[in-house]
Amino acid sequence: MIKLEGALYPWRFRVVLGLLALLVSAIACQIVYLQVIDHDFLKGQGDARSLRHIPIPAHRGLITDRNGEPLAVSTPVTTLWANAKEMQVAKDRWPALAHALGQDPKVLTARLEQQANKEFIYLVRGLTPEQGQVVLDLKVPGVYGIEEFRRFYPAGEVTAHMVGFTDIDDKGREGVELAYDEWLAGVPGKRQVIKDRRGRLIKDVQVTKNAKAGKTLALSIDLRLQYLANRELRNALVENGAKAGSLVIMDVKTGEILAMVNQPTYNPNNRRNLQPAMMRNRAMIDVFEPGSTVKPISMSAALETGRWKPTDKVEVYPGTLQLGKYTIRDVSRTEGPVLDLTGILINSSNVGMSKVAFDIGGEAIFRQMAKMGLGQDTGLGFPGERVGNLPNYREWRKAETATLSYGYGVSVTAIQLVHAFSALANNGKLAPLTLLKTDKPPQSVQVMPEKVAKTVQGMLQEVIENPRGVWRAKVPAYHVGGKSGTARKTSSGGVKGYAVNSYRSLFAGFGPMSDPRYAIVVVIDEPSKAGYFGGLVSAPVFSKVMSGTLRLMNVSPDNLPTAAEQQAAATAAAAKGGRG
Ligand code: 59J
């Protein structure tokens, strides 16, 4: 015990003691404050240095065709990364690592030395989990793995434009992958882990939020039809030396797109050396003048006025019609000086069509085309989709009336054209377009009287089956209807804005005539070999694709040879066989 009395300078001792007491109580206060009152702040600060949240990737939804065939699948992959700083302690392990990664040891060493102070570099992305585990099992200091998902497209180039693709971070970038990104993406989860100062994982604490998987998306397309359409379109492009093309198949009753293909295309699983021209979903993002393929629509407007019937006659002689300094021409009329309305379609007479148009007026044709969706928003919201253009005029002069009636001065997409034809096929009812599989009956709109649609159906069957018709569009065992078109392409040079020597060959049609179910549009851009007429280049593609479609969909033939005809054919074959 210290005796205060005995101290040499008692007052000094008291001062020091007092100061010490003050100091001790100040420290005590601070401890109480930090431990009791401000406890959360410090704990937070400590945890922030060691407790981390790492994202758990969400499984992206599957995209399938209408029958459940996978079109886009997410598979788990392992991505390997390195803390290069940390790796410097075990350089002797690098050759083994390089070997396991299948990389050149010299290249890897150079890279790790060059980036020696980086705490995060990718070693390799997207290995199978098994491949990744082999490398991780080497336990090379500083090498880590993370789980990710990678998208794979089983049908490759056949569905590329429709399905689109995701980027390396699994976000939709094109096509349906982009349009329905939110539906497909899901929500990533969170996992809490403890890491040390250098970011090394010490302990997996808990999953704080489960990843929510994305939802499956069933498209309206039928992969079998998609393959068929792709094959026939590709062959036609090669045969005709054409630049590009599109083909669309639609179910006219439900509004579903059953196939949509374009050429050129690309492999979405390997996107190196991609050129923009390959990526275009032309059927929705390229617009063109539909030319004569819209004549049936103009005809339906004429029939609807009640002023015209299919057998009414129009003089088309001499195959030209002068409108001021502008001349309307028929390119290849094969019949006499007078044609009835069906004859105008069969011969694809621009003069005859124009004369009908003058009688009913441009406005009537404009309204019919607009109702059927030409140059109108489809409502599909497909990335990059174009609306085209259907002009209206306060006063319809003759030149505008005529050119609209046979398909110029209006621009459309292939999907709009097939949509318009679907209304003719579906007895005047237009079902809204969809790229998704639907079970509900569609909210169709009657865009022309049923009787008018049926009359046009008969005329379009004549266009194919008449002796002077587009026989190349015929389909064995079925009756089908349709219309060809050959349109000069617009160009900056050329005559009056049209190129002299580049064409677009078109065909639009539907079948079977007994109960039309499928509409098909074929667009072939700049055929450069044998010929360029729609009836020559695109009609055979229509025939093959329609034939395959009717067969695959198990549609009963409505044009089988009669028993007598079969008998005659068999007898002829036997006679031939006997001789040979
Ligand atoms: C045509 C046009 C261009 C634009 C003309 C095709 C016009 C026109 C100005 C000349 C080839 C050609 C607005 S042809 O589609 O009439 O499909 O089997 O490009 O007429 O006025 O050397 N189609 N095509 N016309 N323009 N302007 C025929 C026809 C059509 C066929 C064949 C032969 C044209 C029967 C096109 C087919 O019906």
Quick check: CB of 485 below 6 Å from ligand 1?
yes
Mean pLDDT of all residues belonging to the chain: 93
Ligand 1 nearest-atom number relative to CA 534: 17
Structural domain 54-218, CATH architecture: Alpha-Beta Complex (3.90)
245/288 Cα distance (integer angstroms): 12
Ranges of each domain in the chain: 54-218, 223-563
C-alpha to C-alpha distances, 478 to 24, 462, 542, 561, nearest whole angstrom: 103, 14, 13, 10
pLDDT tens for 307-316 read 999 999 999 9
182/344 Cα distance (integer angstroms): 50
Q: Which two tokens stand for residue 181?
A: 């990104």
Q: What is the CB-side half-sphere exposure of residue 475 using CA atoms within 13 A?
A: 28
Fold held by 223-563:
Beta-lactamase (3.40.710)
Q: Where are the alpha helices (DSSP H) in 435-558?
A: 450-465, 534-537, 539-552
Determine the distance separating the centroid of ligand 1 and the alpha carbon of 435, expressed in angstroms. Answer: 32
Find the catalytic residue in 74, 220, 292, 505: 292
Asked if 364 and 356 count as a contact pair (C-beta separation under 8 A), the reply is: no
Q: In what order do the strands lie in the sheet with 244-251?
A: 257-263, 244-251, 518-525, 498-511, 481-495
Quick check: CB of 486 below 6 Å from ligand 1?
yes
Quick check: CB of 542 below 6 Å from ligand 1?
no
Quick check: CB of 349 below 6 Å from ligand 1?
no
Determine the distance separating the centroid of ligand 1 and the alpha carbon of 349, expressed in angstroms. Answer: 9
Ligand 1 nearest-atom number relative to CA 403: 13
pLDDT value at residue 49 = 59
Ligand 1 nearest-atom number relative to CA 350: 16
Cα 248 to its chain centre, rounded Å, is: 12
Q: Which amino acid is at 474?
A: K
Of 553, 469, 477, 550, which Cα lies nearest the Cα of 507?
Answer: 469
Which residue of 288, 322, 331, 471 sits with most ligand 1 atoms within 8 Å of its CB, as the best mutation to test the pocket? 331
Q: Which two tokens stand for residue 61?
A: 């939804």
Hey, how many other C-beta atoms are within 10 angstroms of the C-beta on 150?
19
Quick check: CB of 347 below 6 Å from ligand 1?
no
65/7 Cα distance (integer angstroms): 99
480/502 Cα distance (integer angstroms): 29
Domains 54-218 and 223-563 share a fold: no
Active site residue 292: yes
Quick check: CB of 293 below 6 Å from ligand 1?
no
Which residue of 298, 349, 488, 536 sits with most ligand 1 atoms within 8 Å of its CB, as the best mutation to test the pocket? 488
pLDDT value at residue 45 = 65
pLDDT value at residue 470 = 98
Quick check: CB of 533 below 6 Å from ligand 1?
yes
160/45 Cα distance (integer angstroms): 49
Ligand 1 nearest-atom number relative to CA 535: 18
Quick check: CB of 172 below 6 Å from ligand 1?
no
Ligand 1 nearest-atom number relative to CA 332: 33
pLDDT tens for 92-104 read 999 999 999 999 9
Quick check: CB of 403 below 6 Å from ligand 1?
yes
Determine the distance separating the centroid of ligand 1 and the alpha carbon of 171, expressed in angstroms. Answer: 45
Which residue of 240, 292, 320 sits with most ligand 1 atoms within 8 Å of its CB, as the best mutation to test the pocket? 292
Determine the distance separating the centroid of ligand 1 and the alpha carbon of 348, expressed in angstroms. Answer: 9
Ligand 1 nearest-atom number relative to CA 330: 16
Q: What is the CB-side half-sphere exposure of residue 141 using CA atoms within 13 A?
A: 10
Taking 70 as the pLDDT cut, the residues of the chain under it are 1-8, 42-49, 197-201, 493-495, 577-580
Q: What is the CB-side half-sphere exposure of residue 543 using CA atoms within 13 A?
A: 19
